[in-house]
Amino acid sequence: MKNFSLQIRRVFIFILPSLFLITSCQNNDLIEVKELSPLANYTMEPIEGQYVVVLKENVSGKYANQKYTERMASLKKDYVARFSTIKLTSDKIQQTYGYGVSGFAAQLDDEQLLHLRQDDRVKSIEQDYIITLNPELSILKGRPGGGGTTPAAEVIPWGINRVGGGISGIGKTAWIIDTGIDLDHPDLNVDTNRSKSFLGGKDANNPDDGNGHGTHVAGTVAAINNEINVIGVAAGATVVAVRVLDSRGSGSYSGVIAGVEYVGANGNEGDAANMSLGGPSNSALNDAVINASIKVKFAIAAGNDGADANNYSPASANGTNIYTVSAMDKNDVFAYFSNFGSPVDFCAPGVSIQSLWKGGGMNTISGTSMASPHVCGLLLLGTVHTSGNVSGDPDGNPDPIAHH
């Protein structure tokens, strides 16, 4: 499919080492937002001395029979031995890659970096980054979650109707690469055993959603048809939390790449993954997505910068099972904040989207982060068809509107 860029509405931008979420927030009364804040309200900072190193050789072949955790441990030892001459140590390796990408993310001093740049075994070395939403934009007003309150009667959001969703997805699996998922939300079927966090510190082993964005995305994909809250496109499908962004909507590129590799290692044919996050172009991240998509179909947010998606990752990743998604409003008009261009495959509802939130409640927000999960749900249901074209596409080539 065409390359794509990702983002949620200009308001939410979360990152992996250089990625950010894409959404715009609304209040707890679920009132539609009439005007969204300008796009690109996020900060990006390099992680001092930390780099993503990709090797030319597929080192993981000799560990092909090992399960994910065992393989990662074996590869870490392998990389330390392979680069012993520069005194690379295991405690300096922050992430290990060995499925779609062979390599690692590590803390390196100037001398180690110089030697690796001259090493003919190394394909590429990229600075690792952290991207974080503007604090004023990432804090929601009021209590959108509803934590502890009685669930509301079920409604069918306009976007679910527009894409022909609300069909049973029971037995299907969606991997939500995001801020985590509310593991106890009554309207979601969460696979806690396979859910995993790629954050460090106190969140290292906690895939629970500390932000709300990931739960919102999961709800659009797969909220259960159970007479409470909302219904998802592929209602009742299993969702797996792959947490790469913290409660502030921050993360590193290296952590996002690790999350994508985890999906590629553990996903199955027929599964779909959603990435409602993004940042500046990064070849290692794109390669990880392309390789993981051999087994799992990927829906990716085009981004909320109102710019060419070719300049963002993973939006610019391109492959048969990769679908970049732009956003539109309920009048089939292209959202002013949405990225555009040749990477985009489909347009989907992304303005004033009502879905689930952490704490057992709901919230209404906007962004290409909200558009992408509509397509993720459709991918679980089979081939994505179209129903007309969006109007007002800035690139002059109207994107087809995704439909079951």
How many angstroms separate the CA atoms of 168 and 235, rounded? 5
Q: 140 near 23, Cβ under 8 Å?
A: no
Alpha helices by DSSP H, 267-332: 283-292
Q: Return the H-helix or E-strand segment holding 178.
A: strand 173-178
Q: Give me the amino acid identity at 323.
A: Y
DSSP letter, residue 309: G
Coil, strand or helix at 398:
coil
Given the residues 178, 208, 246, 308, select the one marked as catalytic: 178
* Angle, in degrees to the nearest 10, between helices 253-266 and 283-292: 10
Phi-psi category of residue 393: left, alpha or beta, with phi > 0 → left and psi -120 to 50 → alpha:
beta
Query: Which candidate, 51, 105, 100, 48, places its Cα nearest to that of 79?
Result: 105
CA angle 41, 44, 45 (to 5 degrees): 150
Coil, strand or helix at 221:
helix
Given the residues 213, 216, 316, 366, select the one marked as catalytic: 213
How many angstroms separate the CA atoms of 189 and 208, rounded? 14
Given the residues 5, 102, 252, 369, select the one marked as catalytic: 369
Q: Which sign does the torsion angle of CA 179, 344, 237, 266 carry?
A: negative
Q: 234 near 225, Cβ under 8 Å?
A: no
Based on the residue annotation, tell me whether 110 is a catalytic residue of this protein: no
Based on the residue annotation, tell me whether 178 is a catalytic residue of this protein: yes
How many angstroms separate the CA atoms of 244 and 275, rounded? 10
Residues 6+ apart with CB under 8 A from 118: none
b/e 117-148 (16+ beta carbons within 10 angstroms → b): eebeebbbbbebbbbbbbeebbebeeebbbee
Based on the residue annotation, tell me whether 91 is a catalytic residue of this protein: no
- Active-site residue numbers? 178, 213, 369
